[in-house]
C-alpha cells in the first residue's frame, strides 16, 4: 500500500515523527489563535489538542497497518481495513464541536468554531499520514475563511427592527424619509400603541430589506438620534 511507505514494523524515524507532530501543533495553533483572538468557545489550546490527537491517532493507525501488511504478505488469511480509527476521529470530534454550539435567545452561536474544530481534526489526520503540503495549504484556506471571508463578503442577515417613539405623525415622516433615502425596503410592519404617563407610546416592528452598503448598526444609530425615538433594537426573525 503506497500510503504506508515510510512506515516500518517498529516506528517512524524520529525526525519524521517530530516533523509530523510539530506540524500538527503549528497548524492547530494557527487556527486556534484566530479563534482565541475573537474570544470563541474553543481557542488555542483546544485546537492544538484536537489536531495533535488526530495526528497521533493517524500515525498509530499507519504503524499498525504497516505491521499487519507485512504479516498479510506471509498469510493469505489476513485482510487489512485501513482508515477505521481515522474515521472515528472524524465523526467523534463532532461531539466536541457540539459542545461549542450555544442556543441563546433564539440565536445559535458557535457553529463556525465547531466547523473549525472538525477541520483541524482533518488537518491533523492529513499530517499524520504525511501529506504536509495538503495540510498546510488547507490550513491557509481555513484561516482565510475564518479571518477574511466575512470582511470580503458581507451578508445582511434578516432581522426585525423595533422602534418605540412618541408623536406618531412627525416621527413616522422622519422614519419613512430615512428609509427612502437609504433605499431600505419595508417588507412587513407590525405596530401597537400603549399609554405611558398620559402619552401615547407607539411601537413599530419592521422587517426590512437592506442594500449591501447599509447595516443594521447604521439603521439603529440614525433612528436613535431623533428626539421622539425612545428606543431602537433588533430581534431575530
Longest CA pairwise span in the chain (Å): 95
Contacts from 11-17 at CB under 8 Å and sequence distance 24+?
A: 11/63, 12/59, 12/63, 16/130, 17/59
Residues 146 and 42 in one domain: yes
Look at the chain and report how many structural domains it folds into. 2
Of the residues 110, 135, 152, the one at which a domain ends = 152
Confirm whether pTM is higher than 0.85.
Answer: no
Residues 64 and 166 in one domain: no
Say which CATH number the domain at 191 has. Answer: 3.30.70.260
Reported as a single tens digit per residue, the pLDDT across 154-185 is 666 678 899 999 999 999 999 999 999 999 99
Residues 122 and 164 in one domain: no
> 83 pLDDT exceeds 70?
no
Q: Give the cell for residue 184.
A: 431600505
The domain in which residue 106 lies consists of 2-152
Residues 137 and 167 in one domain: no
Residues 143 and 87 in one domain: yes
Of the residues 133, 152, 171, the one at which a domain ends = 152
Q: Find, among 173, 192, 176, the residue nearest to 184 by Cα.
A: 176
Reported as a single tens digit per residue, the pLDDT across 110-149 is 778 888 888 898 899 889 888 889 899 999 988 888 888 7
Residues 63 and 133 in one domain: yes
What is the pLDDT of the chain when averaged over all its residues? 81
Residues 96 and 191 in one domain: no
Pairing mode, if any, of strands 199-209 and 107-109? unpaired
Q: Report pLDDT for 175.
A: 94
Reported as a single tens digit per residue, the pLDDT across 51-72 is 988 888 888 888 777 777 666 5
Residues 107 and 7 in one domain: yes
On the CB side of 124, CA atoms within 13 Å amount to 32
Amino acid at each position: 500500500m503506497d500510503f504506508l511507505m515510510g512506515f516500518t514494523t517498529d516506528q517512524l524515524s524520529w525526525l519524521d515523527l517530530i516533523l509530523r507532530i510539530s506540524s500538527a501543533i503549528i497548524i492547530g495553533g494557527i487556527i486556534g489563535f484566530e479563534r482565541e483572538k475573537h474570544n470563541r468557545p474553543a481557542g488555542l489550546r483546544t485546537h492544538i489538542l484536537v489536531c495533535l490527537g488526530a495526528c497521533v491517532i493517524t500515525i498509530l493507525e499507519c504503524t499498525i497497518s504497516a505491521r499487519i501488511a507485512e504479516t498479510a504478505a506471509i498469510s493469505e488469511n489476513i485482510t487489512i481495513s485501513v482508515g477505521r480509527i481515522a474515521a472515528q476521529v472524524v465523526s467523534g470530534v463532532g461531539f466536541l464541536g457540539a459542545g461549542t454550539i450555544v442556543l441563546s435567545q433564539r440565536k445559535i452561536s458557535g457553529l463556525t468554531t465547531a466547523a473549525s474544530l472538525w477541520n483541524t481534526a482533518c488537518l491533523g489526520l492529513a499530517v499524520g499520514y504525511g501529506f504536509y503540503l495538503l495540510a498546510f495549504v488547507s490550513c491557509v484556506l481555513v484561516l482565510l475563511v475564518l479571518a477574511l471571508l466575512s470582511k470580503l463578503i458581507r451578508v445582511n442577515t434578516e432581522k426585525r427592527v423595533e422602534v418605540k417613539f412618541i408623536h406618531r405623525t412627525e416621527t413616522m415622516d422622519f422614519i419613512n424619509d430615512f428609509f427612502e433615502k437609504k433605499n431600505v425596503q419595508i417588507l412587513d410592519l407590525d405596530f401597537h400603541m400603549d399609554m405611558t404617563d398620559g402619552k401615547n407610546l407607539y411601537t413599530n416592528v419592521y422587517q426590512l430589506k437592506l442594500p449591501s452598503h447599509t447595516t443594521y448598526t447604521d439603521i439603529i444609530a440614525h433612528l436613535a438620534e431623533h428626539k421622539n425615538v425612545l428606543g431602537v433594537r433588533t430581534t431575530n426573525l
